[in-house]
Structure 1
Amino acid sequence: MEYISTRGKVGKIGFIDAFMMGLADDGGLLVPSEIPQISAETLKAWQELSYQELVLEIFSYYTNNEIPEADLKAMVEASYSTFRDPEVTPVRRLHDGLYLLELFHGPTFAFKDIALQFMGQFYSYVAAKQGKKIHILGATSGDTGASAIEGVRGKDGIKICILHPNGKVSKVQELQMTTVKEDNVLNLSVEGNFDDCQRMIKELFADLDYKSSNHLAAINSINFVRIMAQTVYYFYAYFQVAKANGGDVGKVNFSVPTGNFGDIFAGYLAKRMGLPVGKLILATNENNILERFIQEGVYMPGDFRATYSPSMDIQVASNFERYLYYVLGEDAEGIERLMAQFKAEGEISISEDALRKVQSEFAAHGVLGQECLDTIADYQTKYGYLLDPHSACGIAAVQQCADEGEISISLATAHPAKFDEAIRLCGIEQSFPNEISSLFDKPQSQILVDGKLEDIVAQLDQFYNA
């Protein structure tokens, strides 16, 4: 397995080089040169594996044997040893035909832990093996930052800086990032929204001289290893539901709350690998650029809106280019033209034929604020299950997009304690886990900066040279 850019100007590179490159040097996103195909016999054999064993099996198709088996196993075991459930990503049955994949049992109570705990181990491994200085730079709409910081806090050879939009993440998300007292952690609270943070991150990675001289490494889902790690729980969830239904369920829908298209692209990759996936249901909120694309074939950012599901308050989805690459026939030159057009004009439109292909693979529903709150209240009343607002969007999308008689797995991407602001609006009082309630007594450390690239660079220069 080798890795290439969606824009065609990065030659075939190895797994560790792809991991360290993050954003492709030509501004595109790295993808495998071919998608591995998993046979039905192999899928059946995988049903009996533990989560950690399944990680190792799936990773083996992507890592090119560049990491000794014992080292990879040690990293995987360390990554998931901190999870509060022995299954790592357990599946709960809510009612007939609907299951919930709980992805919030990691140290920061969000699905980002599943990939980022491994990436933290991997960055530490590379830093030690290659004697490299690594400066991780990322943007967050809330959950990525806390999980990334948790993955590398205090680790030798690594510094991490996370940009988050000031006042546009939940209080718990902010506290999880800013109460970490480590010399290798810098939190920048940026005036603007997540798209502003993400744009500046991409600009810094696109400046190859700056990227090289400052040893930049990517933690956002522009890094393919994030996608690869998230692919695992689609397989694991399918196997758990199959076993609960006698071993053979045919195709299963997955409903995915998403703003940056990373988590649902992992589901698309799993489907392309051979997992029997029916619909991939894209659940979004009022920032519904992706819903419009799936329904109309037009990708055009609108006005930013703050919602009850802030981790999805994103207009420009950084992983969307990966899907475009595949749906448009892996035409790297065409993708480069389209992305240049998008940069110049702010809009992409695809052909009717391409749109039909999109709609054969995806359904979508943009969940408005009251619908989100109503879903939280409804499931608490009927089933005694408290959903966070992002997970509620996933459930609401299933109710709109799945047909009667189909089996659907909806992704629960965060613990409700992280979004108590929305939960209280539903008239529900919840008790916080100790790990979260203790955050409110800790001092915070963050620097407020204007949403200008030169201000970010000034802070980074000071941090890297300290």
Structure 2
Amino acid sequence: MRYISTRGGIEPLAFQDAVMMGLARDGGLLLPQTLPTVGNQVVQRWQQLHYQALAREVLSLFIDDIPETDLEDLIDRSYASFAHPQVTPITQQGDLYILELFHGPTLAFKDVALQLLGNLFEYVLARRGGFMNILGATSGDTGSAAIAGVRGKANINIFILHPHGRTSPVQALQMTTVLDPNVFNIAVRGTFDDAQGIVKAIFNDLDFRDQYQLGAINSINWARVLAQVVYYVFAYCKLSRLGMKSVDFSVPTGNFGDIFAGYIARRLLPPGCIHRLILATNANDILTRFVTSGDYSCSQVQATFSPSMDIQVASNFERYLYYFLNEDGAAVRRSMESFVASGRLDLTADRQRIGQDFSSRSVSEEETIATIRDFYSEHHYLLDPHTAVGVKAGLELRDPGRPVVCLATAHPAKFGEAVSLAIGNEPPLPPALAELQKRESRCVILDAQQDTIKEYVAANALH
């Protein structure tokens, strides 16, 4: 398996090289040169596997430069820290199935990918030598999960940018209370889109990138998306074993990474297994406007109760655009250059084709809180606000004859304010979160300026 850029400007890479490169050197995103597919007999065999064994099977289709025993060890170590034996269990709540993705060390779905990615970085560096300075931006959960994945690891420093004051208090503490000497938290005076734009610009400064051996942990890194493909396949296999041959998934998303993993899973499995992907957004609805009207255009970022989705420029959209434009790298490059220049892509003529892959709904703040309240009242099951966005969209857009799996992306205790507003009291904090308030915190606050961030990174990077 070799990896190419969405913009067609690099030679094909092996998987390990793709992991270490992160963002393609031509500014595009990395994807498999060809997408593997499996048949019904393979799916029937997969129905019997536990999560780690299924992960080995799925990842092996995309990775051919890591020995099987090494890959097995990487997977087993990555999920040993999860609190549930099934890693990503499913629970039925009324007419919906909830795929719980919050049983990792930071209680968010990002752990599923970032525990593995941290171990992959360490594995490659141990064999090749050298060092890495990880640079990433977070709207909340990616940062803490990335830090948890690489804290204390040899030959790795990590620099995480988050929007100052725009994450939940728990999300901020999960990052800033990690005091390992290889961890550097940067709160930028701006939005997540500002932070993400700075990170991308720095990666596109190839001299700086090479000098400091920058590595990517955002979902621009293909390994992030690949790890997330597994839980879609796992959920489908669990339900198909119960006789459900076709399912829909409802996915709360802002950066398009999680739902793009579902798109890859949909193409991997036999046709019809994953029927529809329901794309759920909050008030920051650029992706819903794209699906419903073909209008992919930026507007102002709005702060919401689901801050991890407070995004206008969705990094992983370019990966979908590559397939939408018939795998034409030059066309992708022209489209992304046009988007950077104008802030808009007009795909209105292709709405019907987009609708074959996705349906979508934007969920308001009032609807989010009402969904948490009503779901708790009816099922005694507590949703975090991001999951509530996905549940609301799933309930509105579901086909009564087909099961809907809603992705539960974070533990509700991470968003106590929204939960309290919905049900009248904050959820009890798990021990891992309750003790955060007592810990020392360390963070630097900087202006959202590329040169300012580069100076800070250069002053503290391994070199």
TM-score calculated relative to the size of structure 1: 0.97
Letter in 2 for 1:362: F
Paired with 2:25 and 2:427, the residues of 1 have a C-alpha distance of 46
Match runs of 1:224-235 below 5 Å: 224-235=222-233
Match of residue 145 from structure 2 = 147
Match of residue 182 from structure 1 = 180
Match runs of 1:373-392 below 5 Å: 373-392=369-388
Letter in 2 for 1:238: Y
Match of residue 132 from structure 1 = 130
The counterpart of 1:310, out of the listed 307, 311, 320, is 307
The counterpart of 1:442, out of the listed 426, 439, 443, is 439
- Secondary structure at 2:351 match in 1: helix
Shift of 1:250: 2.1
Match runs of 1:34-433 below 5 Å: 34-64=34-64, 66-96=65-95, 98-243=96-241, 245=242, 248-275=243-270, 276-350=273-347, 352=349, 354-426=350-422, 427-433=424-430
- Secondary structure at 1:283 match in 2: strand
Shift of 1:429: 2.9
Paired with 1:132 and 1:240, the residues of 2 have a C-alpha distance of 42
Shift of 1:454: 1.2
1:400-447 deviations in Å (ceiling 9; x for gaps)? 111222210000000001101111111133111000000011111000
Paired with 1:211 and 1:347, the residues of 2 have a C-alpha distance of 29
Moved more, 179-188 or 423-432: 423-432
Report if the CA contact (8 A) 2:132-2:462 is conserved: no
- Secondary structure at 2:356 match in 1: helix
- Secondary structure at 1:256 match in 2: strand
Report if the CA contact (8 A) 1:91-1:241 is conserved: no
Letter in 2 for 1:183: P
Corresponding position: 1:8 with 2:31: no
Shift of 1:69: 1.5
Shift of 1:242: 2.2
Report if the CA contact (8 A) 2:240-2:246 is conserved: no
Report if the CA contact (8 A) 1:279-1:361 is conserved: yes
1:306–1:9 Cα change, 3 Å: same
Shift of 1:465: 5.4
Shift of 1:210: 0.9
Paired with 1:77 and 1:428, the residues of 2 have a C-alpha distance of 38
Report if the CA contact (8 A) 1:295-1:364 is conserved: yes
Paired with 2:227 and 2:401, the residues of 1 have a C-alpha distance of 30
Structure 1 runs (4+) deviating above 4 angstroms are none
Shift of 1:462: 1.2
Paired with 1:137 and 1:86, the residues of 2 have a C-alpha distance of 32
Paired with 2:348 and 2:408, the residues of 1 have a C-alpha distance of 34
Q: RMSD over aligned Cα, in angstroms?
A: 1.0
Report if the CA contact (8 A) 2:157-2:462 is conserved: no
Paired with 1:120 and 1:20, the residues of 2 have a C-alpha distance of 11
Letter in 2 for 1:425: L
Paired with 2:167 and 2:46, the residues of 1 have a C-alpha distance of 38
Paired with 1:325 and 1:164, the residues of 2 have a C-alpha distance of 28
TM-score calculated relative to the size of structure 2: 0.98
Shift of 1:351: 5.3
Report if the CA contact (8 A) 2:176-2:185 is conserved: yes
Report if the CA contact (8 A) 1:116-1:219 is conserved: yes
Q: Which runs of 5+ in 1 are unaligned?
A: none
Shift of 1:360: 1.1
Aligned length: 460
Paired with 2:253 and 2:425, the residues of 1 have a C-alpha distance of 25
Shift of 1:86: 0.2
Paired with 1:406 and 1:458, the residues of 2 have a C-alpha distance of 53
Paired with 1:70 and 1:235, the residues of 2 have a C-alpha distance of 22
Paired with 1:464 and 1:351, the residues of 2 have a C-alpha distance of 45
Letter in 2 for 1:167: G
1:124–1:465 Cα change, 3 Å: closer
Report if the CA contact (8 A) 1:126-1:132 is conserved: no
Report if the CA contact (8 A) 2:131-2:462 is conserved: no
- Secondary structure at 2:361 match in 1: strand
Paired with 2:194 and 2:438, the residues of 1 have a C-alpha distance of 30
Letter in 1 for 2:248: N
Paired with 1:274 and 1:106, the residues of 2 have a C-alpha distance of 26
Paired with 2:18 and 2:291, the residues of 1 have a C-alpha distance of 29
1:126-179 deviations in Å (ceiling 9; x for gaps)? 111111201111000000000000011011110000000000000000000000
Corresponding position: 1:461 with 2:458: yes
